[in-house]
């Protein structure tokens, strides 16, 4: 695969757009559809050494509340009534159209990933550790999980947990 094919083919552009416009937008309400999920998503602030305990607490509580309301706006704008179902529909599309129901190891159609694979993986990997990741990858299984595991080795350099 040439560098040109890696990032500019029509197929790559399709899956870059899917990752950016569909998957990322659908994942957002999944990571903060409830106040509890929003609170969990802000858990990273506890690892920021430069924040005081008071800052960590206020950022986590106010941030999670703001994220929850923003997710509600996104759900309304995109006419999402069930964020989990929307996520699974998007992953079904990825599985059937992109991975051709497991016939292809990567979106590229060859034995190595292309930029479309990297983009979709990046969106899914960005929510690792949150319930949305477990729902999208861990409990789903099948061709998407197999692809994700292959991509994890390619991008991260080790087996997925």
What Cα–Cα distance (Å) separates residue 5 from each residue in 9, 98, 108, 150?
Answer: 5, 16, 9, 20
Residue 120 near residue 11, CB atoms below 8 Å: no
Q: What is the pTM of this model?
A: 0.88
CA atoms of 106 and 99, how far apart (whole Å)? 6
Residue count (the chain) = 161
Residues 90-139: tens digit of each pLDDT: 999 999 999 999 999 999 888 889 999 999 999 999 999 999 999 999 88
Query: Angle formed by the axes of helices 10-17 and 115-125, to 10°?
Result: 10
């Amino acid at each position: 695969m040439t560098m040109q094919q890696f990032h500019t083919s029509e197929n790559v552009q399709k899956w870059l757009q899917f990752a950016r416009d569909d998957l990322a937008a659908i994942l957002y309400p999944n990571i903060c559809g409830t106040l509890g999920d929003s609170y969990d998503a802000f858990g990273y602030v506890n690892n920021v050494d430069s924040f005081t305990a008071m800052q960590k607490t206020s950022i986590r509580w106010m941030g999670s509340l703001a994220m929850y309301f923003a997710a509600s706006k996104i759900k309304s704008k995109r006419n999402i009534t069930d964020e989990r179902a929307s996520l699974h529909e998007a992953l079904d599309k990825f599985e059937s159209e992109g991975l051709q129901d497991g016939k292809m190891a990567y979106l590229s159609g060859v034995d190595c990933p292309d930029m479309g694979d990297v983009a979709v993986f990046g969106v899914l990997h960005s929510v690792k550790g949150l319930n949305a990741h477990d729902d999208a990858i861990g409990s789903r299984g099948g061709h998407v999980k197999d692809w994700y595991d292959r991509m994890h080795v390619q991008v991260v350099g080790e087996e997925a947990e």
